[in-house]
């Protein structure tokens, strides 16, 4: 009996130690990450492996480039000074286990200080066990106003998870020199809002997923001492939340 017990325990340990089988979604995300790194570094070998023959790129200007022309454009762009591409969010939908649609939002700053913000929709296929991109289209997104100048030291204390009186939770994250609000819409749909500073501890909320417009209600958030934050909107009662310890 003891031997059987030891065998059973060993089997459980081996099962627990076995790595999880990657899902198609995680494999696609890994390929997308490698492509972003290759685009940033100009790694032609990696680009050749990830961009399929017959690839078509539709730029935000409406210009269309076939694979070879697109790779040549990337080579020319690599020589120009520019900031890193910062990914704001990535969504993956896999269909039939072999085709995936990826929607990614990102932004970067140019050498002249201007900012480019894009939403890229790409189609990927599983070709011989490797995911490659076969088509992509970029849409230019509105740019946030800069707001008043703030430092990381001023933003960091505001980061955290907050809870409202009705137990609704949201998080505030710092991404570079920005604060981002993350919560959910009705039905549990993820919702991201950008916080633009307008005064010490006071921010306006921009919904960049909704045509880049400020909420029609002119929503604002004011961070108070002791981890309290107040959200105000025109025509509504203020909503208070407290940062979880």
Question: What are the structural domain ranges in the chain?
Answer: 24-140, 152-243
What architecture is the 152-243 domain classified under in CATH?
Beta Barrel (2.40)
**In 36-168, which ranges are E strands?**
51-58, 64-66, 86-95, 99-109, 115-127, 130-140, 160-164
- Per-residue pLDDT at 211: 53
Q: What is the 8-class DSSP label of residue 98? A: T
Instruction: Report the first-to-last Cα separation within the chain, whole angstroms.
Output: 49
User: In what helix (H) or strand (E) does residue 51 lie, and over which residues does it extend?
Assistant: strand 51-58
Would you say residue 15 has pLDDT above 50?
no
Q: Which of 42-46, 81-85, 216-220 has the highest mean pLDDT?
A: 42-46
- Size (the chain), residues: 245
Show the tokens assigned to 36.
């972003």
Distance separating alpha carbons of residues 125 and 52, to the nearest angstrom: 9
| CA 146 from centroid of its chain's CA atoms | 20
Is 3.10.450.50 the CATH classification of the domain at 24-140? Answer: yes
Ranges 4-13, 57-66, 140-149, 200-209: which has the least confidence: 4-13
Tokens of 192: 């991201």
106-118 pLDDT, tens digit per residue, is: 877 765 566 788 8
Ranges of H-type helices in the chain: 2-17, 24-41, 44-50, 67-78, 152-155
Q: What is the mean pLDDT of the chain?
A: 84
Tokens standing for 87?
């990914």
pLDDT the model gives residue 113: 61
Q: Which has more pLDDT, 51 or 225?
A: 51
Rank 7-11, 61-65, 139-143 by mean pLDDT and report only the highest: 61-65
Collapse the DSSP code of 234 into the 3-class scheme (helix H, G, I; strand E, B; otherwise coil) and give the result. coil
Once rounded to an integer, what is the mean pLDDT over residues 177-195? 86
Q: pTM for the whole thing?
A: 0.62
Question: CA–CA separation, 74 vs 50, rounded Å?
Answer: 14
Banded model confidence at residue 135, pLDDT cuts 50, 70, 90: very high
């Amino acid at each position: 009996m003891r031997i059987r017990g030891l065998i059973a325990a060993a089997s459980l340990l081996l099962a627990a130690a076995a790595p999880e089988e990657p899902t198609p979604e995680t494999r696609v995300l890994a390929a997308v990450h490698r492509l972003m790194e290759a685009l940033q570094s100009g790694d032609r070998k990696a680009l050749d492996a990830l961009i399929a023959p017959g690839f078509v790129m539709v730029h935000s200007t409406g210009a269309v480039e076939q694979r070879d022309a697109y790779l040549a454009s990337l080579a020319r762009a690599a020589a120009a000074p520019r900031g890193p591409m910062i990914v704001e969010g990535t969504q993956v939908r896999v269909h039939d286990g072999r085709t995936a649609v990826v929607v990614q939002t990102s932004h970067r700053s140019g050498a002249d200080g201007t900012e480019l913000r894009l939403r890229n929709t790409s189609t990927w296929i599983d070709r011989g066990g490797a995911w490659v991109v076969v088509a992509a289209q970029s849409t230019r997104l509105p740019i946030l106003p800069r707001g008043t100048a703030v430092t990381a030291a001023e933003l960091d204390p505001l980061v955290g998870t907050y809870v409202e009186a009705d137990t609704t939770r949201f998080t505030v994250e710092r991404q570079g020199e920005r604060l981002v609000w993350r919560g959910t819409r009705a039905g549990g749909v993820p919702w991201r809002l950008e916080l633009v500073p307008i005064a010490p501890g006071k921010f306006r909320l921009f919904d960049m997923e909704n045509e880049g417009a400020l909420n029609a209600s002119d929503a604002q958030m004011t961070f108070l001492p002791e981890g309290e934050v107040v959200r105000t909107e025109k025509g509504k009662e203020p909503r208070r939340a407290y940062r979880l310890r």
